[in-house]
Structure 1
Amino acid sequence: MTMTRLLSSVAYLGFFAAGSVQAQQGEEPFDLGTVVIEAARTGAGKDAIPGTVQVVEGDAIQRRIASGQSLSGALSDIVPGLAPANGTIGGASQTLRGRTTQILIDGVARTSELRGFDRELSLIDPSSIERIEIIKGSTARFGNGATGGIINIVTKTAGEGTRTTLDTRFSFQDGDDDSFSNELFLSHERRMGDLGLRFELSRSDSGQFYDGDGSRLPPDPLVGQGNGDNTDRYTLGFAADWARGPHELEFRFDSYQLEQEIDVFTDYSTNPVSVTNRSYTGKPVEDRGTSANLTYRHTDTPLGELEVTAFVTDIERRAAFVEAGPNNTLYYSDGPGTTVQDPAAQTELFTTTYGLSITMRSPFDWVTPDATLTWGLDLGRDEVEQELLDGTDVLAPMSQNSVAVFAQAEVPVGDRWQISAGLRAEQFSLTVSDFTRPDAVSLRAVGGTFVPLALPALDVDGGEFDYSAVVGNIGTVYSATPNLDFYGGFSQGFSIPDVGSFTRRAVSAVPTAANQTISIDSIRPEAQIVNTWEVGTRYQTDTLSLDASAFLSTSDEGTIFDSATNTLTQQKERIWGAELSADYQFRTNWSAGAQVAYTEGRFDDDGDDDIDSWLPINRIPSTYTATLYTDRAFNNGLTLSGEVVYASGRDKPGEPVLGDTVRVNVGGSYALGNGTLNFGVSNLFDQDQINPTASSVRTDPLTDDAVRVADQGRRIAVGYSVSF
């Protein structure tokens, strides 16, 4: 059945493309030139990096958003190796090559290294995005967290002259009046000599979500994260840039507020999860944050080009209230010895981060002509607290200082070889405060039912701890012809595990005994270092672009979360895979392509140093993913696009089986008046199917099966954009 749907979808896309062929007028393709990859930190272009690099232009993102997709959904469709979006405002299980992704905005991480909810892709308005850079594989170029790669969102700055832009987007699911959603984005930019200014305002309001069967999707299908329905989001942005001679200044300030009004609880026992008739009793899901970053560049110092960036972020995040049950087996009680859930057992996370980066790009001519050395210093500080609504700590308040030094050499050898090598040494000083884990209850699966076990409050002694990591990379690019490159390399990344999550789950050797104390030193995790080997090839002409790669990544301290037992463990693991990107431009105004990826992995499940078990589905929810697409622009101002998106799900021994999914998305635009009318449909055929990524997040302890979440059904969107 699924294969039939896939073939019919491909046939549809082929017919769509064939119709485009008949409209060709003989336009010639053109070269967009080399784009400097800011996420590389070296000033290098894509072709000089010995690894898989992808640049997604803002226009490509806008086309998919205009058809009713989310930003996380759009990225998962066009970035091979990125797991399908889970359909919520969070990023749970949306891994990159089976590992964590470091999400940056203009080179700055907005999520704390110590505790994160990973909502960044839901909190930025896509209309503010200039492009998105993706560097695959473990890397430490921006420090901790990029064991699977980096996603760097580059925001827009003021162009030439003066311009005001208004974007409106409306969407709904056919037949459901309460599904109506709308977005409004306003920007104004002005260039005054050396100074550029850009202001941004946006508001979005989403209605209820429905699956392909017409059933309402639960407002909180993933335990506390919220799916984004009935959500209001406001953003405010300001960007300024100034340049004179060798001096450049860039500044950006962002503030946002998101609130989801949940109206009913979720029934996690049905397949798929569904809404109940019980009114929600908690407070709304919220996310409020501000950030600012300032960058100064001097392009002609005696040592080369100097870049200094300072940043600060301040974020408050509230999770939803979740009833005790199969998906919330560790909850806070309303007093000592009782197993009744505290009605105010809803948590709020407070994080503040500061950072300073000093980067110098110096000539390295004494090695070879045109060689460069990028070196510098990164300083950072994180402060984290997580509390119940009454102010009770649910994890140990923490602060962490970090200092890192790094050096990266780019050395051309002759006309065809480019060698890249670097090292980064980082030291973390972590301060964990003493705290008392509140009275809690653990639901244990016994004989096909749950038995509640009261866990008395537990004192956790903090302390001062140090983590350190020295990681490196080395690789080469060989230009066989002006159009064909081969690359290969070894790179390392590291991750400081979620220490707060370990303290929140603190349990003593005798969990039911009162008045006990344990030390954080006995439960804190080890820092994880990931090694990645990768080989690949790139082929680029004016009309054809190909990028194929294969990779292997290993770690001795991989982190596994078992939702059935609510525990985190670390062990050896190995992940491997391959990716292919292809794009053919038939004419300037017509292109077609494909994105294909394979990812699989195993780990040491029993600690015997034998990597013999398959990684859980919350690390790799889909083994194979593929997207086929085409875009066509006509002379009358009409553009059309279409794509078929496939995800295989996963079927491995010892793990729940996740089925495959197929979606067809179509869209287009038409020049109308002084602006552009945008339109589109996501999940064109209204497929009723299970979202593999959302369904990989939790496992029912009673059945050992996945808690399945339906995918969103057909959504119709229309919008209008005008600049003046």
Structure 2
Amino acid sequence: MKFTALLAGVSSLALMTTNAAAQEGEPVFLGTITVDALRTGATEGSIPGTVQVIEGDDLARAVAQGGSLASVLANAVPGLAPANGTLGDAGQTLRGRSAQILVNGISRTSELRGFSRELALIDPSSIDRIEVVKGSTARFGNGATGGLINIVLKQPADDNVTTVDTQLSIQDGSDSLSNRVSIAHERRFDDLALRFTMSRSETGTRYDGAGDEISSDALVGQGSLDNTESYNLGVSGLWASGAHSVEFGVGAYSLEQDIDFFPDFDVNPVGVSDREYTGEPVTDEGVNAYVTYANDDTRFGELEISAKVSDIERRAAAAEVNGVNFLYYTDGAGTLVQDPDSQGELFTTTYELSTTFRTPMDGITSGSILTWGVDVGRDEVEQKMLDGTDLIAPMVQNSIAAFAQLDAPLTDDIEISAGLRAERFALSVSDFTRPDAAIYGYGLLLPAVDVIGGDFNYDAVVGNIGAVYHVTETSDVYAGFSQGFSVPDVGSFTRRAGSDIYVAGQTISFADIRPEAQIVNTYEVGYRYTTEMTQLDVAAYFSTSEEGAVLDDTTGTITQQAEEIWGAEVQAKSALNHNWDMGALLAYVEGRYDTDDDGDTDSWLPNSRIPSSFTATLFSDYAFQNGLNLNGEVVYASGREQGDLEVLEEMVTVNVGARYPLGDGALTVGVTNLFDRDQENATASSIRTNLLTGGAVRVADTGRTLSMGYSLSF
């Protein structure tokens, strides 16, 4: 089905009811909202780049109508790849690059070893808003080559209030029934306000549009969204008196997925085999805490000091040896038998301390602000088998960075911003022995290899500069250049050490295989138009890197080479009247890289970096006088067909929902994939290749899901 045919076929729906995005996950055109992820107190009108804020109430409503947090974000944020339907974010890139996911400005996982599940672990009803800053940036250090996604959790209200959120969803049978309940209690004691939260969710079996069960581990070890049970507990507080304030929070969560059967990779799409799962359950457990002190009346202006810590343990699923899981650990030297304890567990502990000043610089121009400070951090990372054998070299990384950002209005119509960040990472890699391994299908043994560690430094100075020209009171033109800094997944380099060595007793130095740090340069131009009834944001960008990282999943190796990515995005929303909104979110992204280091980008970037070249969300919502709100969206992803890459099929999903005030609360109902379309998930299908067939491992998208939720505050 071509996109033009899609538009013709669903136009009546789009006119009547379309979008969860307008009421549930729609990017809000910011006006005067301060964006925390920028660290400068800036608002959208003064930013020479693309920023979106998605309100928490809209996110919670969208999830209550049946979407996952990852899918709601993908539908609402142009440039963010479609969600893959698993616990992790593999393939869900932002503008073809990695997105750094933060919670209250905290990076809960180490960039030294990718294993991100943040979007699947947070209770949506606890979210105040999500800020998306697009383009390469170093505002929070390592990792944001495609942009930042900052999840800001709710803080206590001024009144004493208790809120209860419940949700039920179901597909074809009783085993697909899922439920979620969350309770929040907010209470004020003079200058101190507290918020206590507790939530529990349980998910059932998932089915595709053909009515077939979707595997619990279609991506080999990632874990999926089915048959999980999770808990979240948290307390946050805010104390304020005069110029001083203290904000703090402590949270803990636990998730477990019980898998009944191994996946069947011999069918297309991936199915469920009749072989009982023999591994340990997929788990994810963590605790985190933060405290921020602010003083808005120091001699240097506003001061903010934040301390943060997180400790996380994550277990992947056990995977059978096959053409998809072809590189595996053996049960000792000289044998091809898989080690029953080779299921991986990741342990990460992160510490952060940041000091930020916002100093008025009226001596430059009236209203100028200099944001400056120092960040320090520490990451401790280990990945082990169930029996404690190291799968990667244990690592500790200490970092320190100094930064300064100037925002200055040159005239009434022109604002500029410019900044620098100098960063140093001191990485300590322990000696370890990469365990005995083998390659399935070829009978090749990869004897254990001793990896010699050491101490290594990564340094970078990155900057940004841009300007906004206020053409009229309603129109802005902006242009900007920004840089991001990233040290690619170091753990994966040590895990794959010696993957081409077939002689026992070999030694490799990490100095010979370590990845190079990459600096990503992003150039962006855009136009914003904002009135009471209409909002429009159009942007085009081009990004380059000399040390881009690409995983070849047919060989299990990671290479680094020059690459370039380009694209364009459109956000448009118009109110036809005070009750009826319509709009569209469009994005195009493509990229190439230099495979032979001759200075020419001669090949298309792999599908795992860009699973869909074009995405679109068409939306509308209508509010009736009696409080009933109808909404819906048509979500399109083109898939991808470039060069010799595997063809990824297009996706078309129609979602509808309604919300109605009932009693002292509100009832929400929704249907995702309204027409129960049987289709592949383009992002999930971009991740793995079957070594024996050379073809992509195709993964089905979720079929129609019915959901109902009720929210009550008292």
Indicate the TM-score class for this superposition, using the shorter chain for normalisation. over 0.9
Distance 1:647 1:87 in 2: 15
Partner residue in 2 for 1:500: 491
What residue identity is the alignment partner of 2:275?
A: R
| 1:124 lines up with 2:115 in the alignment | no
Partner residue in 2 for 1:209: 206
Deviates more, 1:57-66 or 1:3-12: 3-12
Please report how far the alpha carbon of residue 113 of structure 1 lies from its aligned counterpart in structure 2 after TM superposition: 2.0
Distance 1:7 1:124 in 2: 38
Partner residue in 2 for 1:619: 609
SS in 2 for 1:307: strand
| 1:75 lines up with 2:76 in the alignment | no
Matches within 5 A, 1:558-637: 558-637=548-627
User: Are the structure 2 counterparts of residues 440 and 186 from structure 1 closer, same or farther at C-alpha, using a change threshold of 3 Å?
Assistant: same
| 1:413 lines up with 2:413 in the alignment | no
Deviates more, 1:576-585 or 1:450-459: 450-459
Answer yes or no: is the 8 Å Cα contact 2:168–2:707 preserved in 1. yes
Partner residue in 2 for 1:21: none
Normalising by the residue count of structure 1, what TM-score does the alignment of the two structures yield? 0.96
Answer yes or no: is the 8 Å Cα contact 2:667–2:711 preserved in 1. yes
Q: Any idea what the Cα deviations from partners look like across 1:313-361, whole Å, max 9, x if unmatched?
A: 0000000000111111111001101011112210100000001000000
| 1:472 lines up with 2:463 in the alignment | yes
Distance 1:263 1:254 in 2: 30
| 1:722 lines up with 2:708 in the alignment | no
2:475 alignment partner, one of 455, 464, 484:
484
Please report how far the alpha carbon of residue 268 of structure 1 lies from its aligned counterpart in structure 2 after TM superposition: 1.6
Q: Any idea what the Cα deviations from partners look like across 1:78-102, whole Å, max 9, x if unmatched?
A: 1000000000110000000000000
Answer yes or no: is the 8 Å Cα contact 1:2–1:661 preserved in 2. no
Distance 2:646 2:18 in 1: 38
What residue identity is the alignment partner of 1:158?
A: P
Distance 1:300 1:588 in 2: 42
Q: Any idea what the Cα deviations from partners look like across 1:284-319, whole Å, max 9, x if unmatched?
A: 000000100100000010110000000000000000
SS in 2 for 1:178: helix
Distance 1:522 1:230 in 2: 43
| 1:400 lines up with 2:383 in the alignment | no
Partner residue in 2 for 1:25: none
Partner residue in 1 for 2:38: 40
Matches within 5 A, 1:402-481: 402-443=399-440, 450-481=441-472
Matches within 5 A, 1:308-707: 308-443=305-440, 450-507=441-498, 511-707=501-697
Normalising by the residue count of structure 2, what TM-score does the alignment of the two structures yield? 0.97
Identical columns (%): 59
Please report how far the alpha carbon of residue 513 of structure 1 lies from its aligned counterpart in structure 2 after TM superposition: 1.2
| 1:103 lines up with 2:101 in the alignment | yes
Q: Any idea what the Cα deviations from partners look like across 1:382-407, whole Å, max 9, x if unmatched?
A: 00010000000011000000000000
Distance 1:80 1:370 in 2: 32
Distance 1:282 1:9 in 2: 45
SS in 2 for 1:663: strand
Distance 1:704 1:7 in 2: 37
Answer yes or no: is the 8 Å Cα contact 2:29–2:535 preserved in 1. no
Distance 2:156 2:17 in 1: 37
Answer yes or no: is the 8 Å Cα contact 2:657–2:669 preserved in 1. yes
User: Are the structure 2 counterparts of residues 32 and 40 from structure 1 closer, same or farther at C-alpha, using a change threshold of 3 Å?
Assistant: closer
Distance 1:538 1:369 in 2: 24
Q: Any idea what the Cα deviations from partners look like across 1:178-218, whole Å, max 9, x if unmatched?
A: 10000000000012322111000000000000000000000
Answer yes or no: is the 8 Å Cα contact 2:446–2:499 preserved in 1. no
1:160 alignment partner, one of 158, 161, 165:
158
User: Are the structure 2 counterparts of residues 31 and 37 from structure 1 closer, same or farther at C-alpha, using a change threshold of 3 Å?
Assistant: closer
Deviates more, 1:373-382 or 1:63-72: 63-72
Distance 2:627 2:369 in 1: 45
Distance 1:709 1:391 in 2: 32
Answer yes or no: is the 8 Å Cα contact 1:66–1:667 preserved in 2. no
Distance 2:462 2:368 in 1: 22
2:138 alignment partner, one of 134, 137, 140:
140
Answer yes or no: is the 8 Å Cα contact 2:30–2:44 preserved in 1. no
Deviates more, 1:315-324 or 1:512-521: 512-521
| 1:232 lines up with 2:223 in the alignment | no
Distance 2:277 2:358 in 1: 55
Q: Any idea what the Cα deviations from partners look like across 1:573-630, whole Å, max 9, x if unmatched?
A: 0000000001112344331111000000000112222111000000000000000111
Distance 1:702 1:651 in 2: 22
SS in 2 for 1:451: coil
Q: Any idea what the Cα deviations from partners look like across 1:219-250, whole Å, max 9, x if unmatched?
A: 00111011111100100111100111100110
Distance 2:17 2:684 in 1: 31
Partner residue in 1 for 2:25: none
User: Are the structure 2 counterparts of residues 33 and 138 from structure 1 closer, same or farther at C-alpha, using a change threshold of 3 Å?
Assistant: closer
What residue identity is the alignment partner of 1:608?
A: D
Partner residue in 2 for 1:447: none
1:89 alignment partner, one of 63, 77, 87:
87
Task: Structure 1 unaligned segments of length 5 or more: list them.
Answer: 19-29, 444-449
Partner residue in 2 for 1:256: 253
Please report how far the alpha carbon of residue 508 of structure 1 lies from its aligned counterpart in structure 2 after TM superposition: 6.9
Answer yes or no: is the 8 Å Cα contact 1:656–1:704 preserved in 2. no
What residue identity is the alignment partner of 2:145?
A: T
SS in 2 for 1:551: strand
Answer yes or no: is the 8 Å Cα contact 1:259–1:286 preserved in 2. yes
Partner residue in 1 for 2:194: 197
Q: Any idea what the Cα deviations from partners look like across 1:519-577, whole Å, max 9, x if unmatched?
A: 11010000010000000011111111100000000000000001111111000000000
Q: Any idea what the Cα deviations from partners look like across 1:128-160, whole Å, max 9, x if unmatched?
A: 011111000000011110000000111111112
Distance 1:107 1:31 in 2: 21
Q: Any idea what the Cα deviations from partners look like across 1:223-281, whole Å, max 9, x if unmatched?
A: 10111111001001111001111001100111100000011001123210110000000
Equivalent residue pairs, number = 705
Distance 1:17 1:381 in 2: 46
Distance 1:633 1:128 in 2: 25
Distance 1:331 1:11 in 2: 52
Please report how far the alpha carbon of residue 9 of structure 1 lies from its aligned counterpart in structure 2 after TM superposition: 2.2
Q: Any idea what the Cα deviations from partners look like across 1:621-658, whole Å, max 9, x if unmatched?
A: 00000001112221212111110000000000110000
Answer yes or no: is the 8 Å Cα contact 2:585–2:616 preserved in 1. yes
Please report how far the alpha carbon of residue 442 of structure 1 lies from its aligned counterpart in structure 2 after TM superposition: 2.0
Answer yes or no: is the 8 Å Cα contact 2:56–2:128 preserved in 1. yes
Distance 1:692 1:32 in 2: 31
Distance 2:420 2:629 in 1: 47
Distance 1:16 1:291 in 2: 41
Answer yes or no: is the 8 Å Cα contact 1:6–1:662 preserved in 2. no
Answer yes or no: is the 8 Å Cα contact 1:63–1:667 preserved in 2. no
Please report how far the alpha carbon of residue 721 of structure 1 lies from its aligned counterpart in structure 2 after TM superposition: 0.6
Q: Any idea what the Cα deviations from partners look like across 1:426-450, whole Å, max 9, x if unmatched?
A: 001000000011111123xxxxxx2
Q: Superposition RMSD on alpha carbons, in Å?
A: 1.4
Partner residue in 1 for 2:12: 11
SS in 1 for 2:293: strand
Distance 1:719 1:508 in 2: 50
Answer yes or no: is the 8 Å Cα contact 2:30–2:53 preserved in 1. no
Distance 2:50 2:208 in 1: 35
